[in-house]
């Protein structure tokens, strides 16, 4: 194929140059979408497609693989923390490991897409895998979900994701740090609402509060920032990444990119020059994705995180929370709705059952009290709750510490306490008649943090009550 660079002879060099995709999924989806809108300009896009670096992946070496659903597609999005070449400005790290790992599920039959984040801190049972290029491969072991990349390359990472989730992966895509920055700059920046000032030296990010347009460097810092925002967890960071990517997708699909040939060509050039994919993700396949994505409304592009909690064998790591995680993966593998809305169901209550009262975070006033023992934890938790829209009335230390993390509520505020409990990995609710309108979150020694996928516990829906956000909801305005 003229102008196309095969990777079979020098995979190591290519992966080292192009391997972060904090926004890689949007690259492949929007590239496909814009190609599909102008198939009459096929020759021009054929030249742009030649910019993409590609790798050969021997999926036959995997042995038994999960079955695939005809018509649906699953793309593994890899974001690596490699720090070579132009990416050296972002610090030093040995090898390359996914900084972001996503399964992008495209379902043209139902007109929806789902982006499932796999937190990099997840401890899982990994399969044995032969190495690729100069990598040695690895024996079967328990380790972090992102470790196969450094031990056996993309091929090992692909096999591990399939084994852990039971989801058949059709393709992969990645973009490096520098590439993501350039993609944002080609859009003229991305408009975001920053609820609180950010001062994160590690991520090289310093932002004032308020609505503003983030340039490429600021956007990269925002996506990488962990300890300067929220509760400092990877799950909290993933939530912010989902909001950013949703805002970015809004801007691409509703802005001037698609209506201006010059803007479109510049955007596609910046996207494809920073992408690495498998060699079976051809221009025809991208066009097929584009045709499918034309019918997907922004409200049907869902962002979720694999349900998780603290790992029993390592308090600094995460483990998949069951049965919710298995239900989510099964829904993706079978091309079912994660919200249980297949066949016209509304996902709320079965057989005429009464729905529980729904309370918006903005209507919940909460006091956070730290009995867990970690200095400043109440303030960190309070900051995270503020970014999620809760009204934090106060933070401090409790007079008495319960045996387990508890949310206390006064008369008529049980629904408020339960809505807050749904955001925590482990929290019980209890009535305290002396409380007024403000509920109290008392952090005990068993505190395990928040999870963006902590649902109501409902059995409705194929994924058992997994929460998330949509691209339409990510269009933010301050106030």
360 burial class (0-12, 13-18, 19+ CB within 10 angstroms)?
A: exposed
Residues 312 and 365 in one domain: no
Q: Token digits for 264?
A: 């479109």
Q: How much is the pLDDT for 14?
A: 30
Note every long-range contact of 207-210, with CB atoms under 8 Å and residues 24 or more positions apart, other chains counting: 210/478
The CATH number assigned to the domain holding 402 equals 3.30.70.2390
159-181 pLDDT per residue, tens: 999 999 999 999 998 866 667 78
Question: Do the domain assignments include residue 5?
Answer: no
User: C-alpha angle with apex 138: 137 to 141, nearest 5 degrees?
Assistant: 160
Question: Do the domain assignments include residue 465?
Answer: no
Question: Do the domain assignments include residue 408?
Answer: yes
CA 290 to mean position of chain CA atoms:
21
Question: Residue 262 — very low, low, confident or very high, per pLDDT cuts 50/70/90?
Answer: low
Q: Nearest Cα to 470, choosing from 296, 235, 246, 244?
A: 246
Q: Mark which of 295, 316, 344 sits at the end of a domain.
A: 344
Q: Mark which of 309, 344, 379 sits at the end of a domain.
A: 344
Q: Answer yes or no: pTM beyond 0.85.
A: no
Residues 6+ apart with CB under 8 A from 416: 359, 363, 364, 409, 439
Question: Residue 87 — very low, low, confident or very high, per pLDDT cuts 50/70/90?
Answer: very low
User: C-alpha angle with apex 14: 9 to 15, nearest 5 degrees?
Assistant: 115
Question: Do the domain assignments include residue 150?
Answer: yes
Residues 29 and 69 in one domain: yes
Interatomic CA distance for residues 165 and 171, integer angstroms: 15
Residues 110 and 211 in one domain: yes
Residues 288 and 367 in one domain: no
Residues 330 and 419 in one domain: no
Residue 204 is given by DSSP the state: T
Q: How much is the pLDDT for 372?
A: 85
**Which spans in 313-394 are helix H?**
324-333, 377-387
The Cβ of residue 59 has, within 10 Å, a number of other Cβ atoms equal to 16
Question: Do the domain assignments include residue 461?
Answer: no
Residues 412 and 321 in one domain: no
Residues 408 and 300 in one domain: no
Question: Do the domain assignments include residue 470?
Answer: no
Residues 248 and 391 in one domain: no
Residues 417 and 429 sit within 8 Å (Cβ to Cβ):
yes
Domain that residue 310 falls in = 11-344
Q: Per-residue pLDDT for 252 more than 70?
A: yes
Residues 177 and 105 in one domain: yes
Domain total in the chain: 2
Q: Mark which of 344, 376, 399 sits at the end of a domain.
A: 344
Residues 68 and 107 sit within 8 Å (Cβ to Cβ):
no
Q: Per-residue pLDDT for 29 more than 60?
A: no
The CATH number assigned to the domain holding 189 equals 3.40.630.190
Question: Do the domain assignments include residue 2?
Answer: no
Question: Do the domain assignments include residue 28?
Answer: yes
Interatomic CA distance for residues 93 and 109, integer angstroms: 42
Residues 334 and 424 in one domain: no
Q: Per-residue pLDDT for 307 more than 80?
A: yes
User: C-alpha angle with apex 146: 67 to 53, nearest 5 degrees?
Assistant: 75
Q: Nearest Cα to 463, choosing from 162, 159, 116?
A: 116
3-state per-residue secondary structure call for 228-294: CCCCCCHHHHHHHHHHHHHHHHHHHHHCCCCCCHHHHHHHHHHHHCCEEEECCCCHHHHHHHHHHHC
Residues 416 and 317 in one domain: no
Tell me which range, 28-32, 378-382, 418-422, 437-441, is most confidently predicted by mean pLDDT.
Answer: 437-441
Residues 340 and 366 in one domain: no
Q: Per-residue pLDDT for 446 more than 50?
A: yes
Q: How much is the pLDDT for 260?
A: 60
Question: Residue 202 — very low, low, confident or very high, per pLDDT cuts 50/70/90?
Answer: confident
Interatomic CA distance for residues 304 and 329, integer angstroms: 11
């Amino acid at each position: 194929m003229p102008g196309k660079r095969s990777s079979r002879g020098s995979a190591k060099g290519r992966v080292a140059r192009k391997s972060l995709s904090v926004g890689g999924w949007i690259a492949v989806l929007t590239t496909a979408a814009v190609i599909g809108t102008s198939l009459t300009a096929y020759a021009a896009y054929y030249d742009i497609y030649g910019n993409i670096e590609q790798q050969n992946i021997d999926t036959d070496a995997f042995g038994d693989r999960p079955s695939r659903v005809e018509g649906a597609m699953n793309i593994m999005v890899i974001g690596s923390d490699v720090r070579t070449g132009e990416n050296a400005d972002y610090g030093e790290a040995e090898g390359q490991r996914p900084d972001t790992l996503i399964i992008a599920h495209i379902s043209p039959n139902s007109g929806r897409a789902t982006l499932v984040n796999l937190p990099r801190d997840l401890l899982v049972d990994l399969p044995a895998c032969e190495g690729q290029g100069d990598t040695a491969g690895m024996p079967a072991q328990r380790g972090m979900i992102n470790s196969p990349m450094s031990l056996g390359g993309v091929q090992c990472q692909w096999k591990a994701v399939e084994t852990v989730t039971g989801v058949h992966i059709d393709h992969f895509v990645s973009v490096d740090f520098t590439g993501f920055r350039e993609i944002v700059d080609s859009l003229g920046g991305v408009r975001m609402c920053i609820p609180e000032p950010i001062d994160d030296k590690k991520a090289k990010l310093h932002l004032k509060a308020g609505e503003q347009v983030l340039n490429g460097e600021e956007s990269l810092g925002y996506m990488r920032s962990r300890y300067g925002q929220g509760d400092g967890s990877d799950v909290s960071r993933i939530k912010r990444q989902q909001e950013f990517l949703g805002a970015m997708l809004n801007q691409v699909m509703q802005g001037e990119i698609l209506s201006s040939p010059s803007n479109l060509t510049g955007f596609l050039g910046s996207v494809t020059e920073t992408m690495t994919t498998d060699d079976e993700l051809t221009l025809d396949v991208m066009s097929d994705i584009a045709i499918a994505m034309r019918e997907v409304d922004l409200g049907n592009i869902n962002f979720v995180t694999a349900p998780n909690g603290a790992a029993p064998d390592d308090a600094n790591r995460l483990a998949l929370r069951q049965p919710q995680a298995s239900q989510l993966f099964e829904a993706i593998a079978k091309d079912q709705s994660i919200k249980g809305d297949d066949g016209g169901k509304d996902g709320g209550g079965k057989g005429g059952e009464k729905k529980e009262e729904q309370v918006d975070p903005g209507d919940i006033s909460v006091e956070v009290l730290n009995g867990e023992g970690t200095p400043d934890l109440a303030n960190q938790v309070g900051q995270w709750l503020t970014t999620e829209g809760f009204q934090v009335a106060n933070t401090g230390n409790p007079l008495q510490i319960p045996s387990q993390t508890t949310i206390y509520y006064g008369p008529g505020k049980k629904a408020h306490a339960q809505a807050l409990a749904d955001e925590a990995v482990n929290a019980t609710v209890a009535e305290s008649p002396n409380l007024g309108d403000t509920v109290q979150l008392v952090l005990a020694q068993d505190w395990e943090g928040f999870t963006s996928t902590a649902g109501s516990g409902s059995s409705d829906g194929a994924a058992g009550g997994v929460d998330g956000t949509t691209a339409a909801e990510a269009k933010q305005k301050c106030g």
